[in-house]
């Protein structure tokens, strides 16, 4: 009887471990995020610098940081830049995912970069096997 309980316990542990492996395989892969700069401030079209990115994990209701974004300057007046091909962990196959960039704009009057602002994509379903294309439009304040 004890041996049967141990075997059932081991089987349950293996099933749990296997399900964890399957869940981690559901990462949102092959995500191409494009930032389009439509930013205007006080009527001026200004360049921006993307300094960070994260994504919304709708299932866990929290933002998750995406590492490796290195100060990407995007030209004004509809200029665009791809943030590279990324993988968003923890969100494969779920609806309601959003990407968000943190950016600064170059002040025309002072010639210095602003404080950090945010811009978000619309919601999308992030497919585990990709490809996933997301566009973030940065507009004025």
pLDDT tens track for 45-70: 999 999 999 999 988 999 999 988 88
Mean pLDDT of 15-39: 69
| pLDDT of 9 above 70 | no
Question: What mean pLDDT comes out for the span 117-134?
Answer: 92
Mean pLDDT of all residues in the chain?
A: 83
Q: Please give, one letter per residue, the 3-state secondary structure of 28-73.
A: EEEEEEEEEECCEECCEECCEEEEEEEEEECCCCEEEEECCCCCEE
Q: pTM to 2 decimals?
A: 0.78
Domains and CATH numbers, the chain: 27-138 (2.60.40)
């Amino acid at each position: 009887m004890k041996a049967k309980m141990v075997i059932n316990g081991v089987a349950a542990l293996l099933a749990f471990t296997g399900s964890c492996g399957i869940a981690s395989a559901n990462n949102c892969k092959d995500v191409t995020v494009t930032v389009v700069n439509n930013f205007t401030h006080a009527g001026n079209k200004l360049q921006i610098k993307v300094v960070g990115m994260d994504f919304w994990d709708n299932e866990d209701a929290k933002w998750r940081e995406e590492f490796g974004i290195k100060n990407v300057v995007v030209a004004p007046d509809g200029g665009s830049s791809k943030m590279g091909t990324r993988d968003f962990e923890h969100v494969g196959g779920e609806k309601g995912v959003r990407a968000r960039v943190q950016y600064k704009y170059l002040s025309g009057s002072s010639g210095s970069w602003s404080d950090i602002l945010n811009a978000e994509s619309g919601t999308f379903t992030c497919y585990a096997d990709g490809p996933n294309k997301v566009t973030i439009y940065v507009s004025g304040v």
